[in-house]
Amino acid sequence: MTVGTVKLKIDNVEVAVPEGTTILEAAKSNGIDIPTLCNLEGLSGYGGCRLCMVEIHGSPKLFAACVTPVGMGMEVITQSDKLREYRKMAIQFILSERTHICAVCVANNACELQKLANDLGVDHVMFEREWTRLPVDSTHDFLVLDRNRCILCTRCLRVCDEIEGVHTLDLKMRGKDAQVIIDLDEDWANSSSCTSCRKCAKVCPVGAIYVESVALEETKDKGIAEFVLSRRNRK
Amino acid sequence: MKLDDLQKIAEHEVDFQRAYKHRINVCCSSGCVPFGALKVLKAFQEAVREFGVEKECKVARTGCVGTCSVGPAVIIDPGDYLYQSVTPEKVREIVRDHIVLGLPVKDMLYHGEAFFKKQRRLVLRNAGKIDPSRIEDYIAMGGYSAIGKCLATMTPQGVIYEVSRSGLRGRGGAGFPTGQKWSLVARTHTTPKYIVANLDEGDPGVFANRTLAEADPHAIIEGMLIAAYAVGAEKGYIYIRAEYPLAIQTLQKAIAQAKGMSLLGDNVLETGFKFDLELRFGAGAFVAGEETAILASVEGRRAMPRPRPPYPANSGLWGKPTLIQNVETLANIPVIIQNGGEWFSKVGTAKCSGTKCFSLTGQINNPGLIEVPMGITLREVVYDIGGGMQDNRPFKAVLVGGPSGGCLPEALLDLPIDYDSLTKVGAIMGSGGIVVIDDQSCMVDTAKFFTDFCVEESCGKCVPCRAGLVKIKETFENITQGTGKLDDIAALDKAGQYIKEASLCGLGQTAPNPVLTTLRYFRDEYVEHIVEKKCRAGKCFRNLKKEEDDAQ
Amino acid sequence: MTSTSKVRVATVWLSGCSGCHMSFLDQDEALIDLAQQIQLVYSPIMDVKVFPENVDVTLIEGAVANEDQEELLKFARERTKILISLGDCAVTGNVPGLRNGITNSADAVLKRAFVETADMNPQIPTDVPTLLPKALPLHEVVKVDFYIPGCPPPADLINWVISRLMRGLPVNMEGRSKFG
């Protein structure tokens, strides 16, 4: 089967990409930056954080660039006042739902949420903040899960399932109460499936999963999923 | 069983039923059973024996008549006499006077004739008339003749053509043209293909789909058969809430009967057409009614929606082409095939043909299950069918579309009910819930109530719905407890608009509707709450009152 | 320039570590330029007891954690044209806010600090301002006009915001905010 080429415009720049490419990939390969948070190269698309929302000319709806495939003749707008405002609101909502205190967080200065907030010019949260006291799991030899810092992007779930292939991590509850759990909601130390591969800590965009007593800058590795995939697919 | 046999069964059954002079239909749906419908049924069976009229009286257990507020409801044919609030004690009198003496008991008859006058029953054509546990009853009403007609005389393309021509749109809420959806699935070459019937009705106060399944399960099955034939699917699932035990029971029985008569299975009506059907039980979540969440749940995963595209028509269950339709849509199909798409397109309005079932509730005189032609006005629904406001209280608003619908004021009562006009004013067709609100309700409190529901039901996947709704809820708490600020109104507006536009699935996209419409049509009540700390319905500021009482 | 035409600036220190004030002073030689244009009328680094009237700009560091602070903040708001939240504690609640997740946090923290961990003479202090149930960011109490997040905010960011404001230019924090 041959893969066709799709021509479209992103921010008035004409680009041509293979069929099936997402808008995000198409933008990226042409040097156009769209902010993302839950998305990670090498993992399946999730579409949860809604930061990569773009407008498509002629449609009243907004589209998540990370999961929307390109279409012939599309005119994509990645920057507008509305999108900027909505992206700021997304960050504010995320910051407001759990205890996100940069000053005492292991991820300070290595945090994607913090960086996005700074880049997008979020200077305060217009809503009342929640101060959560969710359980912290530090039973594992060196991995720690702090649910109060979790933004439910599910990168850890996906890397655990899709790349490591063990599906140790999953979600329980729903809505604002949703929490990452280990196996069937057990202590990490008792997990029979966890391989201690650290991939979850490597891809966590914030300080929710981290390796104990190691500087976060050293453990973060956003490229891990793509790296494993590329090695796996090597002939 | 062959096609001709179907005809024979129908004729035989009609003859069999004609042998009875009277038919006593006792509504035994989930609405009437709590009122003691089963006892009434038993009392009728005993009474006809007592009076020695069991040979001429057929006592049948049927589905919903629609007058849910005055259950148990009993219909005696011929003559369509509808008795309301029947108790086992009254049964002897009814049998004696009506059946034996031929004198209907006037003071027990239902007097809200207007309730039925403006209705048009296509989907609920058999509801209250047939015994849902007997496939023969359905066949006698012409049931399964539509699939027979399809198999014998129509090509799949021909079926899709008729459905397209009928102008039928999806009754699940979004109103996507059904014919177009079918041809999308039919056109894909990947096999196998699947059909999923959506019976996961999660809205509070909405019971139309449940009632349909309880009253006429075979209409759903036949609709699925025709759809399967048209798109080339061999396997179907009915995704039903586990909280609907009677509907599940009824459907299970119906499926078993249809299999027994080779209406389902490897060789449907001995034509070589193959279609099998299974039930799948819902995960007890509102969001599980969203089509991509259903797919996840049927596959055995957490019922969370996923972004579209890819649409289920291309990649649905296990990545295969899948047709997902609401059961109400499917129940329309046999009618369309029997009468032709053109006939159907003339019911309702030009852009929205057909009828729509609504669960009519709230402060009105005749709540119940109704089916009305598209284009009927809200005023007709509230005042004619609904019989007007309870105790003649002033009308305040009508919430159309369930917990994520819109609260519309009196000024919009003459709005015709169809997908597009409802969307224009900020409401939705949704799953078909209409709640009529009088002046005893506070609009701020009402919007808060429905927001609370959506907060509970958010799956937690996308930020706007998960975190945004919580913030709306908190703002509401401030306003209704006297700590609201005038800036809150703008914040609600902004957050609501954001959630509506940025959420991943239908739940999030519609969840702010009650907030946005009450802000649009009842803004003065918000201002009153914030500035004067006054709730004209007396629902809010309970904590303040308590403090005052404590102080005294 | 006479002192009357100078911009009247106040700085307030609520529940914070004074790091933001340190950062303010850390503007080095820029402070000298700034001093030409502003008149400091109230600050923890000067001996003025009562928050003055007619203040043009007030920079407030720290979260609102007790009743006295709440009173001072409201007082400052009334007498100020432009009120700025300075630093993460003022903007988010930050470290003082960490107690907010605990039920009855005011009692709990006092007990922890003055009874459970006391080496001698454990007792809850009584002659100090009462703690609020939660340590709040400023904008949850009064209207705030601008925010300079950071723990602490960098000196040059403080300088940038103040000098933009004094020149009447818009303050767009895109790419400049610094949480943490």
What pTM does this model have? 0.91
Instruction: Quote the CA–CA distance of A103 and A107 in Å, as a whole number.
Output: 9
For residue C1, pLDDT beyond 50: no
- Residue, of C3 and B306, whose pLDDT is higher: B306
Please check whether residue A129 touches C, CB under 8 A: yes
Task: Give the gap in angstroms from C-alpha B450 to the nearest C-alpha of chain A.
Answer: 15
Q: Which residues contact B241 (CB under 8 A, 6 or more apart)?
A: B199, B200, B201, B202, B210, B281, B282, B284
CA of C98: how far to CAs of A125, A131, B443, C92, C106, in Å?
A: 16, 7, 36, 10, 11
Which amino acid, C144?
V
In C, minimum Cα distance to A122 occurs at C177
In chain C, residues with a C-beta closer than 8 Å to the C-beta of A146 are none
The chain C residues in contact with chain A (CB within 8 A) are: 85, 88, 91-95, 97-98, 100-102, 134, 137, 139-140, 144, 146-149, 151, 172-180
Establish if B472 touches chain A: CB-CB under 8 angstroms.
Answer: no
Model confidence over B208-217: pLDDT tens digits?
999 999 999 9
Query: Residue B531 — φ and ψ, nearest 5°?
Result: -80, -50
Residues of B in contact with A53 (CB under 8 A): 502
Report pLDDT for C150.
Answer: 94
Using a CB–CB cutoff of 8 Å, tell me whether A122 touches chain B: no
Pairing of strands C55-61, C80-86: parallel
Counting residues of chain B whose pLDDT is more than 90, the rounded percentage is 78
| Record: contact B307-A69, CB cut-off 8 A | no
Find, in chain C, the residue whose alpha carbon is nearest to that of A120: C174
pLDDT in tens, B61-97: 999 988 888 889 999 988 889 999 999 999 999 999 9
The string of pLDDT tens digits covering residues B365-418 is 999 999 999 999 999 999 999 999 999 999 999 999 888 899 999 999 999 999
Q: Is B3 within 8 Å of B269 (Cβ atoms)?
A: yes
Q: Do A90 and B463 touch (CB under 8 A)?
A: yes
C-beta atoms of B460 and A177 within 8 A: yes
Q: Minimal Cα distance from A176: which residue of B?
A: B466
For residue B503, list chain A residues with Cβ-Cβ distance below 8 A: 50
Residues A123, C149: C-beta atoms closer than 8 Å: yes
Interface of A with B in 174-233 (CB under 8 A): 174-178
How many A-C residue pairs are in contact by the CB < 8 A criterion?
79
Spatial distance between the Cα atoms of A129 and A55, rounded to a whole number of angstroms: 29
CB contact under 8 A, A129 and C144: no
As to burial, measured by CB atoms within 10 angstroms (0-12 exposed, 13-18 middle, 19+ buried), residue B34 is: exposed
Q: Where are the alpha helices (DSSP H) in chain A?
A: 23-29, 81-97, 112-120, 155-158, 199-203, 216-219, 224-232
CA atoms within 13 A on the CB side of C133: 3
pLDDT in tens, B104-153: 998 889 877 788 989 999 999 999 899 999 999 999 999 999 999 999 99
B463 touches chain A (CB under 8 A): yes
Return the residue of A nearest to C177 by Cα.
A118
Contact C173 A128 (CB under 8 A): no
pLDDT digits (tens, 9 = 90+) for C143-159: 999 999 999 999 999 99
Q: Which chains touch C (3 or more CB pairs under 8 A)?
A: A
Looking at the predicted structure, is the pLDDT value of residue C53 above 90?
A: yes
Averaged pLDDT score across all residues of chain B: 92
The residue with tokens 């586990």 is: B242
Interface probe with C: pick from A124, A125, A136, most Cβ of C within 10 Å: A124
The pLDDT, as a whole number, for residue C4 is 58
Task: For A54-83, give one letter per residue: b (16+ CB within 10 A) or e.
Answer: bbbeeeeebbbbbbbbbeeebebebeeeeb
Choose the closest CB to A96 out of B302, B464, B467. B467
pLDDT value of position B282: 86
The predicted pLDDT at position B284 comes to: 79
Interface check for A103 against chain C (CB to CB < 8 A): the answer is: yes
Closest partner CB to C173 (pick from A101, A123, A133): A123
Does any CB of chain A come closer than 8 Å to the CB of residue B455?
yes
| Closest-CA residue of chain B to A126 | B491
User: Does B307 sit within 8 Å of A45, measured CB to CB?
Assistant: yes
pLDDT, residue A4, reads 87
A neighbours by CB contacts (3+ pairs under 8 Å): B, C
Region B309-329: what's the mean pLDDT?
Answer: 93
Residues found in chain B: 552
**Could C174 and A119 be called an inter-chain contact, meaning their C-beta atoms sit closer than 8 Å?**
yes
And the tokens for B28? 């035994």
User: Which tokens in the block code for residue B435?
Assistant: 């709640």
- Chain B contact for A93 (CB, 8 A cutoff): yes
pLDDT (tens digit per residue) in B503-549: 999 899 999 999 999 999 999 999 999 999 999 998 898 777 666 67
Tell me the residue ranges of DSSP E strands in B19-69.
22-27, 57-62
Q: Per-residue pLDDT averaged across B443-455, rounded?
A: 94
Task: Compute and round to an integer the Cα radius of gyration of chain C.
Answer: 17
Say if residues A105 and A151 touch (Cβ distance below 8 Å): no
**Cβ-Cβ contacts under 8 Å, B470 against chain A:** 97, 130, 175-176
Instruction: Tell me what pLDDT residue B308 has.
Output: 85
Mean pLDDT of successive 10-residue stretches along chain A, which has 235 residues: 83 93 94 95 93 93 93 94 95 94 92 95 91 94 96 96 95 93 95 95 95 88 91 83
Q: Please answer yes or no on whether A50 and B462 come within 8 Å at the CB atom.
A: yes
Whether B457 sits inside 8 A of A62 (CB atoms) is no
Distance from CA of A230 to the nearest CA of C (A): 33
- For residue B471, the chain A residue with the least C-alpha distance is A127
pLDDT of residue B396: 95
pLDDT for B551 beyond 70:
no
> What chain A residue is nearest to C172 in terms of C-alpha separation?
A121
Q: For residue C85, what is the nearest residue in chain A, using CA coordinates? A: A124
Q: Is B420 on the interface with A (CB under 8 A)?
A: no
Q: Map tokens 């598209």 to a residue.
A: B374
Residue whose tokens read 């279409």? A71
Q: Do A48 and B504 touch (CB under 8 A)?
A: yes
